[in-house]
Amino acid sequence: MLLIAAAVALAGEGMWLPEQLPSLEAELAEAGFALPAAALSDPLQPPMSSVVGLGFCSASFVSPLGLVFTNLHCADGWISLNSTGEHNWLEEGFTAPSRAQELPAGPGARLWVLEQVEDVTGRIQAAAFGPGVKDEDRKRAVDHERSEIVARCERAVGRHCRVAVFDGGASYRLVTSLEIKDVRIVHNPPESAGFFGGDLDNFEWPRHDADYTLLRAYVGKDGKPAPYREDNVPYQPRTWLPIDPTGAQEGEPAMAIGYPGSTNRTALPEELRFEAKIIVPDTLSEVDEVHAILTEEAARSDEARAHLQAPLLSLENDRKYARGIRDNLSATTLLEDKMRLGARVDAAVSGDPAKKAAVDELRATVLAEQARYVREHTVRTFLWLDLLSVAHKAVRWADERPKKDLEREPGLQTRDRERIEAGWADLEETLWLPSEKRLWELVLAKYLAGTQRISTLDAWLERMGGPEGATRALFDRPPLASQAERIALLASSREEMAASSDPWVQLAIALEVGLFAEGRQAGRIAEGVELRTRPVWVDALRDVQGGRAYPDANGTLRLTFGRVEGYAPRDGLQATPRTRVAGLVAKDRLDAYEAPKWLLDAAPTASDSRWADDALRDVPINFVTSLDTTGGNSGSATLNAEGKLIGLVFDGNYESMSADWQFDPGTTRTIHVDVRYILWLLSLDPKAAWILAELGMT
């Protein structure tokens, strides 16, 4: 069982598992929530049951016909897949005139509806810590057991299963979901409204973004999940969220339900130090280099811009996030606080030889892995290249395929092939060979200027006639630029690959033999040690902190609660919690901002709209709360005290960029789009009348 102590929630801190909520009933009631904790504790009952996952974002059903709310930035890649020379739907915005004209989100789009959560800790730990299991074997034993559990689970048609790890291996849970494979785009605003302010406003408050998208889930005529077919029918969910047309009010309680991806609040202080001193500076330097290349290439033609639009948005997000961590760490004592906390844990375990040995071994293992990262990082940047990533994945597939399926590495099993091919299909819209070539030249120059030498890579370069010859060979009509060729490569054996004349395949083999295989083995040994020692650290950390405990985020369903409230970003400044259309109009007067003309034309009528807020005398756009969220929460349903939808999570403020390591109740804020802004924008679009009717908002 997952042993988690009940605790008093401070401000909005806590990404709570559903079953923890009954122990927080007094806090929920005191905060003003009308829903009983028991109702929130069942993930298969509303409102929890209306929340779904996209794999990298969260979403929610809002109609009995499978209509889904999520963020624009969660679906921008799918929208771009439908863009053509005639229509760039991300730039223009899209509204389906009817259900029959909704756009397919593509073969890689998935929507997961939670069906069951089961504790499987005993089974996995029996495999991990059985007689004679050494550190170098432990990770493989855990992977095998997890694969076996997942394989048995996925015998049921249309199911997606995963085993989630809690507290570094202290416990495990099998999460079973219905997997919707036909996802369609119903409506999205133009990016000039959805991403108003672009990178300048990203992670900032005040904000004025229409970061939302409407999708729909489809299934076969038999009601079972099926790949896209024109005659598929809308999925009919068991439950869906009611919408509160009065939106968010200042000071009211709010909660968000979603699938936060990962946090590091139980990490060693040395891990935060490494993040601050190595990872963040490396990320900023590298993202700047790649962003400059893609920006230059995107400016060369409309076709290039369409291909590079989504990658550029992703890079800009990564850069702003890394800057936020850097600046937050500089402006606070977070690192020093974590180091002091680590010293307290060391003191607490010093009287227990077994615990002390485990903590010391964990720290030594982490430091050794950090040193390996530094040694190998430059070479691993070759995997920035999409075509090399494809070739290397195919090489690894060929290595693993002769094994029994359950003996293969996770991610390289039969169940993964469809996902791999779908991911490669997306390259048809995002791969741009001129920028790929320039990235190759960048990473090759870094390698040649560095001190680490990989003998197999150097030998390959020599066979190619040096850097210039290698570049010509790689980019002279590369076969892997074709999806058909990529899929065909998966059918090749390792022997066939070794004999291949494709330079991308030969480069992938050189890197695999020269570095990656050895690195994986070292990583497996380190993970084996961590599976044995990290739970000891986490347990000791919680003892020192007084037992206030919720697991680090790991992609499982969580609820966070707090209030709609502002904050003081700096001394002498107070940020109010809501923005409105008038603020967007004022920003638009600045050169860095450009809202759609139709939106500016409608702005004078906003105060008379049925969606206007009495206190603001305007249509509200965004609001901030004290909720505790992270990546993966994007698109999470934001609910009021009665469990009605008042908005969608889409971002965090700049001051919260270090919150994955530690929550600060004074400055950590989540940014949401108010549902009234969504409804107002829909009301401005004549083609969206049928969507408003489906939402019950006519």
Q: Verify that 214 and 294 share a domain, yes or no.
A: no
> In the prediction, which pLDDT does 81 show?
86
Of 209, 244, 279, the last residue of a domain is: 244
> In the prediction, which pLDDT does 3 show?
32
- If the chain, 698 residues long, is cut into consecutive pieces of 10 residues, what is the mean pLDDT of each piece? 35 89 93 93 96 97 99 93 86 97 94 98 96 93 96 95 97 98 98 96 97 99 96 98 98 98 98 97 97 98 91 91 95 96 98 98 98 96 97 98 94 93 90 98 97 96 98 96 96 95 98 95 97 98 86 98 96 96 98 97 98 98 98 98 98 96 96 99 98 96
Based on the number of CB atoms within 10 Å of its own CB, is 383 exposed (0-12), middle (13-18) or buried (19 or more)?
Answer: middle
3-state secondary structure 226-248: CCCCCCCEECCCCCCCCECCCCC
Q: Verify that 220 and 345 share a domain, yes or no.
A: no
Q: Verify that 119 and 184 share a domain, yes or no.
A: yes
From the list 529, 163, 561, 183, the residue with the least C-alpha distance to 361 is 529
Q: Among 49, 83, 634, 658, which one carries the catalytic annotation?
A: 634
pTM: 0.92
> In the prediction, which pLDDT does 6 show?
31
| Torsion sign across C-alpha atoms 443, 448, 453, 456 | positive
* 38 located within any domain: no
Q: Verify that 232 and 378 share a domain, yes or no.
A: no
Q: Verify that 396 and 312 share a domain, yes or no.
A: yes
* 518 located within any domain: yes
> In the prediction, which pLDDT does 10 show?
38
Q: Verify that 290 and 188 share a domain, yes or no.
A: no
* 505 located within any domain: yes
Q: Quick count: other Cβ atoms within 10 Å of Cβ 437?
A: 17
* 475 located within any domain: yes
Instruction: Indicate if 144 belongs to the active site.
Output: no
* 468 located within any domain: yes
> In the prediction, which pLDDT does 600 show?
98
Q: Verify that 295 and 235 share a domain, yes or no.
A: no
Q: Among 63, 73, 83, 683, which one carries the catalytic annotation?
A: 73
* 383 located within any domain: yes
* 693 located within any domain: no
Instruction: Indicate if 208 belongs to the active site.
Output: no
> What span, in angstroms and rounded, lies between the C-alpha atoms of 222 and 225?
9
> In the prediction, which pLDDT does 431 show?
95
> In the prediction, which pLDDT does 604 show?
98
> In the prediction, which pLDDT does 310 show?
84
Of 541, 564, 597, the last residue of a domain is: 541
Give the chain's domain count.
Answer: 2
Instruction: Indicate if 634 belongs to the active site.
Output: yes
The range of the structural domain enclosing residue 377 comes to 269-541
* 64 located within any domain: no
Dump the DSSP string for 263-300.
--TTS-HHHHHHIIIIIHHHHHHHHHHHHHHHHHHHTT
- The dihedral over CA atoms of 91, 96, 102, 105, expressed in degrees to the nearest 10, equals 20
> In the prediction, which pLDDT does 480 show?
96
> In the prediction, which pLDDT does 85 show?
74
Structure tokens at 174: 């099998």
Q: Verify that 228 and 274 share a domain, yes or no.
A: no
> What span, in angstroms and rounded, lies between the C-alpha atoms of 508 and 495?
14
Of 515, 541, 567, the last residue of a domain is: 541
Q: Verify that 190 and 297 share a domain, yes or no.
A: no
> What span, in angstroms and rounded, lies between the C-alpha atoms of 255 and 561?
4
Q: Among 167, 211, 613, 651, which one carries the catalytic annotation?
A: 211
> In the prediction, which pLDDT does 306 show?
87
Q: Verify that 218 and 361 share a domain, yes or no.
A: no
Contact 531, 139 (CB under 8 A): yes
The DSSP H or E segment spanning 59 is strand 58-61
Structure tokens at 313: 């948005």
Q: Verify that 208 and 347 share a domain, yes or no.
A: no
SS3 52: strand
Q: Verify that 149 and 206 share a domain, yes or no.
A: yes
> In the prediction, which pLDDT does 183 show?
99
